[in-house]
Amino acid sequence: MLEYLRLVRFSHTLFALPFALLGALMAVGTNLYETPAVLPRIVDFAGVLLCMVFARSTAMAFNRIVDRKFDARNPRTVSRHLPSGRLSVWNVTVFTVICAVGFVVSTLLFLPNVIPIIFAVPVLAFLCGYSFAKRFTWCSHLWLGLSLGLSPFAAWVVFRSELIPVPLPPLLLCLAVMFWTAAFDIIYAFQDKEVDIRENLYSIPRVFRTYAAWRLVVLFHVLMIACLLFIPQTFPLFGNIWYFGVAIVALILAGEHWTVVPHEIFIRPFLFWGRHLDNDINWRGEPEIDLRRIDVAFFKLNAIVSSGMMVVGILDLVW
């Protein structure tokens, strides 16, 4: 079982789970302030946790199956479970099916709310579809971001049972998570830029110049902060504590940029769209991202962001 947890990098659930719980608590807070107050059910919280674990495990295991040949030709990923032979394709396939069934069955816990049951299979298909996105579009980073961003929106729907009109608080939180995830996925993709060129895979670092790619990271982080700042305008239960938390997140993201990117990049022209990297490999002046520090930016700082915003949201709800 330990090998399967490592296969799906179970510890990385920390990135998305706090935002899912935050979406659930925002919905619960709204319910408690209604007349009459609607009390949350423990079984719904259990269902959210189970769905998060099963959905993420399904998507990650499916990705490992689909990308196993690419992983085998990438020095950074050649030691993963399938290329190294620690697990067979059959075993991982069975694990994927079990997790997918577990996800769908877990939505039954939300009855009489039928919305999660209706959308269980389409959502799972969207999550697994990300594994093919890099083959045809550099928007794969946003696809991954939306996959994680759906978690707080879905958690809200579990407790509020509403889709039309679209509730703005979880939608803004969904967009914030999407841009945040896309940004750190672009940072992470710098490690595989040369592999993506060789395998003809699409990623923003591969398709665009380093400067333009990093400017998109900056743009996505700015959009994330903007979404977080706008949430209290649609969700009155958040106030000064939330704004303080967003300010801290902005400082953390600035530190992330300072840690990984050469400082000179911030004074170069603000170029979003460059020529394809295939034609610019030898372009003079292209900066090098400090790949040695990506683990710090990707894991530690982003774990602080997700967990910190959940804590800030809880404090603002109960203060």
Task: Write the pLDDT tens digit of every residue in 145-167.
Answer: 999 999 999 999 999 998 989 99
Count of other CB atoms within 10 angstroms of residue 8: 24
Give residue 61's pLDDT. Answer: 93
Mean per-residue pLDDT, 59-63? 94
Q: Is the pLDDT of residue 288 over 70?
A: no
Q: Which of 50-59, 80-89, 270-279 has the lowest mean pLDDT?
A: 270-279
Q: Do 213 and 220 form a contact (C-beta atoms < 8 A)?
A: no
We report the CATH number of the domain holding residue 167 as 1.10.357.140
Q: Which residues of 193-218 are buried (b: 16+ CB within 10 A; e: fewer)?
A: bebbbeeebbbbbbbbbbbbbbbbbb
Give residue 80's pLDDT. Answer: 86
Residues 6+ apart with CB under 8 A from 225: 246, 249, 250, 253
Query: Which is higher by pLDDT, 288 or 73?
Result: 73
Q: Categorize the per-residue pLDDT at 280 as very low, low, confident or very high, splitting at 50, 70 and 90.
A: very low
Average pLDDT, whole number, for the chain? 86
pLDDT in tens, 178-194: 999 999 899 888 888 88
Q: Is the pLDDT of residue 169 over 90?
A: yes
Q: Categorize the per-residue pLDDT at 304 as very low, low, confident or very high, splitting at 50, 70 and 90.
A: confident
Mean per-residue pLDDT, 63-75? 92
Structural domains of the chain, count:
1
Q: Is the pLDDT of residue 319 over 90?
A: no
Count of other CB atoms within 10 angstroms of residue 30: 19
Nearest-CA neighbor of 234 among 156, 147, 144?
A: 156
Element (H, E) at 148: helix 140-160
pLDDT in tens, 14-28: 777 899 999 999 999
Q: Do 186 and 170 form a contact (C-beta atoms < 8 A)?
A: no
Q: Is the pLDDT of residue 311 over 90?
A: yes
Query: Which is higher by pLDDT, 258 or 109?
Result: 109
Task: Tell me the residue type at 258.
Answer: W
CA 215, 197, 135, 20 dihedral sign is: negative
Give residue 269's pLDDT. Answer: 43
Backbone angles phi, psi at 125, to 5 degrees: -65, -40
Q: Categorize the per-residue pLDDT at 287 as very low, low, confident or very high, splitting at 50, 70 and 90.
A: low
- Measured between alpha carbons, how far is 253 from 134 in angstroms, rounded to an integer? 25
Backbone angles phi, psi at 88, to 5 degrees: -90, 160
Q: Is the pLDDT of residue 111 over 60?
A: yes
Give residue 275's pLDDT. Answer: 43
- Rounded to an integer, what is the distance from CA 55 to the centroid of its chain? 13
Q: Do 218 and 260 form a contact (C-beta atoms < 8 A)?
A: no
Mean per-residue pLDDT, 116-145? 95
Q: Which domain holds residue 58?
A: 2-318
Q: Is the pLDDT of residue 281 over 60?
A: no
